[in-house]
Structure formats: C-alpha cells, structure tokens
Amino acid sequence: MTVLNTKIRPESLRGRGALSNQMGRYEKQTRFLVDDGWDDGWRAEDASPPPLRTEVIHDATRSIISHNKSPDISFDQSINPYRGCEHGCIYCFARPTHAWLGLSPGADFESRLFAKPNAAELLAKELSAPGYVPRAIAMGTNTDPYQPLEKKMRITRSILEVLRDFRHPVAIVTKSPLILRDLDILSELAEMGLAKAALSVTTLDRKLARAMEPRAGTPARRLQAIRGLAEAGIPAGVMFAPAIPALNDHEMESVLAAAKEAGARSAGYVLLRLPLEIKDLFREWLEAEVPGRARHVMALVRSMRGGKDYDAQWNTRMKGTGPYAEMMASRFHMAVKKLGLNQPARPLAINNFRRPPRIGDQLSLL
C-alpha cells in the first residue's frame, strides 16, 4: 500500500509548481490519498489522469487596501486583486496565506484562486473617504496582479483606471509580460510621476524558469516587458528574487546586465525565504528537480539563516546573515555600481491626488 501526503494524484500536478497538496497548519485533520490497488483505471496505458484545473472563487472582501507595518519593507499599503497565484512559483513566500482559508499552500495555492471583481468599486470608495491620506500603493506584493487569470478578468486594469482618475501613485512588481497591455494607463500615470514597475527575473535559463515558475512568463519575455515599459516612459526596474544559493545565485550579474540593456533603471534582490509550509514544499521540489544539489542548496540556506531553514527577524530576513550572505550582497552592490543602476530618482508624487467629482456632486462655482 502506498500512502501519499496529498489529496491529488501526483500525475495530475504536471505543469504545476507544487508536487503535493498537504493541508495547512490550521487544519485539525489531514487527508491522505491511498492506493490500495483496486483503482487501476487511471493507470491504463490509454488513459491519463485528468489535469488539475484552476478553480476561481469570488472573494467577498469588504475592503481592498491592505496596510503593512513591517519596518523592512518600502511600502505601507498595497492591493492584491487575487488570492493565490496560478504562476505556481515553488518558492513563493505567499503560499502559507492559503492556510488561513483552510486550503493547502501546495497545489491549492496555484489552482484554487480567489478573485476580487469589485476591487475597483471598493478602491474608489476608500480613496474618497474624507480621512484618506495618499501614499504609494504597491501591487504584486502577495500575488501577481498579472497572473494568467487577469487576462480574462481584468481586475488589475480596473484598479489602474481608478488610480488614474484619482491621480494616485502606484508601484507594480510582476513576472508577466501582460503588464504591457496596460501601457496606455501606466504611461498616463508615469507622465504625472505616479507609476513605476519592476519585472521579477530569477534566471535567464528557460528550463530552470519553467521548473521553478511553471506558468509565469519566460525570462526573454520578461526582459521584453522591461524594454516595453522603458520605451513607454515608465520607470522600469528588475528584481532578482529570490536569490537561491547554488541554484540561480550565480546568474545575479548576468540578469542585472540583461535588464539594464533592456532599459531597467533600478534593481533589487531578495534572498530565498522559506517560512512555514514553504520549507517542506521547496525541499520536496529540490529532491525531485535537482537531487544532486538539494543537500548543498539547503546547507547554504541554513548558513545564511543562523542554522535554520528560515529566520523571520526584521531587517535580516530579506538578505540573510553570515559570510555567504555578505558575499551575495557585495556582488549585488558591485554589479549595480558597474551597470549604473539605482541612480537617485524622484519618488512617486503624492501631491497630484484628487477626488474626481461623482454623479450628483454639486459643481464648485468658478
């Protein structure tokens, strides 16, 4: 008898990032898929298990702006049009949030998605509140605003339309070239100093990217997106995130150079983070995809996390500690200096904010 820590047959997970679907940390019961030898129909040579299909659930949220008090993050408010992400990046630090919903941070995170179709309406209401103080809104912090679902639902675009009407600043991070669809709105915002965007590029190796980020844009298309943003006058940047020792960290300089050549003005990097359930999901993926390097990768990760898989302390969780982390930081700063990235630039403007008149409002006298 074979017992698997999943409710989904492994063969159905082809094309997904996670290799299992173990229940989240808040669940009192764990369910197992047990093969007792009686159900052989799906194993027949002329039959393949059905693929894991994406399920979209409407999120009944009553607010859309999330607030952040973390001292080591550059923004204090953000918008997530979706919960979960179909890109399926195995290392995604947001995976554990699905456990709050009673779902698995594994395959559920990338196949059972929550969409917020009323996001634009909620945003307009919150920005219109008398006590609202404009500050830059970040998008792409806990889910990619341009994941495949956005092509159909267009929630991110509707949010950008509201931000344009209110002349509100926004900063976007994505792995998708779909951002180029919204160049018309983003260029308008950029002309007023209200928009910037960055593409997350983790590797230039298409094969590695497909394994780590199975449904995200290819590295070449992400670089093309940087070029498209830059040519449209939108300040563009690159995020080398996450940097994974002995897997992709050797590509840091080449990724930054390719992004600079495409038109990037700014760059950043974040060390691999493995909080909560991610450490087991990532280790499982390593053993399957790069078994010869799995132990070495995890040993280096622990060397930068005080001997643990992860250390959540403020100000060190993004970059790590120890000799290897210091070397990585030094390499990044040297590459940035050599390439002329991260030159002083104007912050996003907040003094252009306005509340557009609504139907029924009394017009002011001239």
Using CA atoms, how far apart are residues 13 and 21, in angstroms rounded to an integer? 10
Q: What pLDDT sits at residue 23?
A: 72
Q: Does a structural domain hold residue 354?
A: no
When pLDDT is cut at 50, 70 and 90, the band that residue 362 belongs to is low
Average confidence score pLDDT of the chain:
89
The 3-class secondary structure across the chain, one letter per residue, is CEEECCCCCHHHHCCCCCCCCCCCCCCCCCCCEEECCCCCHHHCCCCCCCCCCCEEEECCCCCCEEECCCCCCCCCEEECCEECCCCCCCCCCCHHHHHHHCCCCCHHHHHEEEECCCHHHHHHHHHHCCCCCCCCEEECCCCCCCCCHHHHHCHHHHHHHHHHHHCCCEEEEECCHHHHHHHHHHHHHHHCCCEEEEEECCCCCHHHHHHHCCCCCCHHHHHHHHHHHHHCCCCEEEEEEEECCCCCHHHHHHHHHHHHHHCCCEEEEEECCCCCCHHHHHHHHHHHHCCCCHHHHHHHHHHCCCCCCCCCCCCCCCCCCCHHHHHHHHHHHHHHHHHCCCCCCCCCCCCCCCCCCCCCCCCCCC
What is the model's pTM?
A: 0.89
Q: Does a structural domain hold residue 345?
A: no
Q: Which two tokens stand for residue 284?
A: 């499982």
The residue-averaged pLDDT of 207-235 equals: 97
The residue-averaged pLDDT of 18-26 equals: 75
Q: Does a structural domain hold residue 209?
A: yes
When pLDDT is cut at 50, 70 and 90, the band that residue 48 belongs to is low
The one-letter amino acid at 337:
K
pLDDT over 50 (residue 42): no
Q: What pLDDT sits at residue 21?
A: 79
Q: Does a structural domain hold residue 355?
A: no
- Is the CB of residue 107 less than 8 Å from the CB of residue 18? yes
When pLDDT is cut at 50, 70 and 90, the band that residue 2 belongs to is very low
Q: Does a structural domain hold residue 359?
A: no
Q: Does a structural domain hold residue 286?
A: yes
Per-residue pLDDT tens digits for 144-179:
999 999 999 999 999 999 999 999 999 999 999 999
Q: What pLDDT sits at residue 44?
A: 46
Overall domain count for the chain: 1
Per-residue pLDDT tens digits for 67-121:
988 877 878 899 999 999 999 999 999 999 999 888 999 999 999 999 999 999 9
Q: What pLDDT sits at residue 35?
A: 52
Top-confidence residue, 141 or 230: 230
Q: Does a structural domain hold residue 356?
A: no
Top-confidence residue, 13 or 291: 291
Q: What is the span of the domain harbouring residue 306?
A: 2-45+52-339
Q: Which residues pair with 57 in a beta bridge?
A: 114
Nearest CA to 297 out of 204, 208, 172 is that of 208
- Is the CB of residue 328 less than 8 Å from the CB of residue 252? yes
Q: What pLDDT sits at residue 96?
A: 94
Q: Does a structural domain hold residue 89?
A: yes
Q: Which residues pair with 139 in a beta bridge?
A: 79, 172
Per-residue pLDDT tens digits for 304-351:
999 999 998 988 999 999 999 999 999 999 999 999 999 999 999 999
Burial of 82 (0-12, 13-18, 19+ CB in 10 A): buried
Sign of CA dihedral 127, 133, 136, 139: negative
pLDDT > 70 fraction of the chain, expressed in percent and rounded: 87
The residue-averaged pLDDT of 7-32 equals: 67
CATH at 327: 3.20.20.70
pLDDT over 50 (residue 3): no
pLDDT > 90 fraction of the chain, expressed in percent and rounded: 77
Q: What pLDDT sits at residue 39?
A: 53
Using CA atoms, how far apart are residues 270 and 126, in angstroms rounded to an integer? 31
When pLDDT is cut at 50, 70 and 90, the band that residue 357 belongs to is confident
Q: What pLDDT sits at residue 4?
A: 39
